[in-house]
Amino acid sequence: MWCCPRDTRPRRPGQVRATPFTTHTRRGTISKPVRVNERIRIREVRLIDEEGTQLGIVPTFQALSIARERGLDLVEVAPNAIPPVCRIMDYGKARYEQSRKERESRRNSKAITIKEVRLKPKTDDHDLDTKSRRAKEFLEDGDKVKLTVLFRGRENLHPEVGRALLDRMLDQLGPYAIIESTPRLEGRNMSAMLAPKKQPQPQGATASQGQAPRPERPREQGATPVAVPAGDTTTVAEAPGEPTAD
């Protein structure tokens, strides 16, 4: 299959070359080149100027001449149209604005992390309370929590033991979480999924103080919520070997 040779000519001041943009589909990622200026090799285009005004169907060389006179670029924005639609714009500035918006979007959207808390059918009351406190910290930090009971050997013959452990954990974490999935068997394990409630801490602070929400909570009033450090990458809370005093 023939393809156009790579453009190795030196660029004039202000000239930009075509760069691929990315299209995400269910089957993967597809990169398509954006044709700019001399790379638009068709006879005529439907032209739109930098103000959004349609100038009609004009020869490509004329559209390119208009863009050069205005110190801008000719960019193909709708290659599948008949004829293709091109727009006069500052292509470098448009790429910068698009990348800036994408960075802001990624910055504002917080990735949801799933933390897993693992239990065993023989987990005692002290270890269960430790696990519950750990799961509460994850929920207060805005993460989802997956509670998993690990069955080994013949322990899977008594799933009601794991169900009882998960029910106790769900009762303890009820004020801080929304139950997304109830306990169910997944192979040899039993698990349940919890999601954090929306802003549980500010609501609790407001109710306890009986005042309107403040920008900062006074240090001497109320309990300080436990927060997970920013650098903590632990995703599994294992049961300690021996009970330890709080």
**Sequence-separated (6 or more) residues with CB below 8 Å from residue 46:** 54, 56, 57, 81, 83, 84, 85, 86
pLDDT value of position 113: 83
Cα–Cα distance, 234 to 56 (Å, whole number):
60
pLDDT value of position 191: 92
CA triple 29-83-4, angle to 5 deg? 55
pLDDT, averaged in runs of 10, over the chain (246 residues)? 48 49 45 82 92 91 93 92 92 89 77 86 89 91 91 86 91 90 88 80 45 48 42 46 44
pLDDT value of position 193: 93
pLDDT value of position 227: 43
pLDDT value of position 236: 52
Residue count of the chain: 246
pLDDT value of position 107: 72
pLDDT value of position 10: 53
Element housing 194 (H / E): strand 189-196
Complete domains list, the chain, with CATH: 20-98 (3.10.20.80), 114-204+232-237 (3.30.110.10)
Cα–Cα distance, 196 to 138 (Å, whole number):
9
**How do strand 44-48 and strand 85-89 relate by DSSP bridges?**
parallel
pLDDT value of position 153: 85
pLDDT value of position 154: 84
pLDDT value of position 8: 52
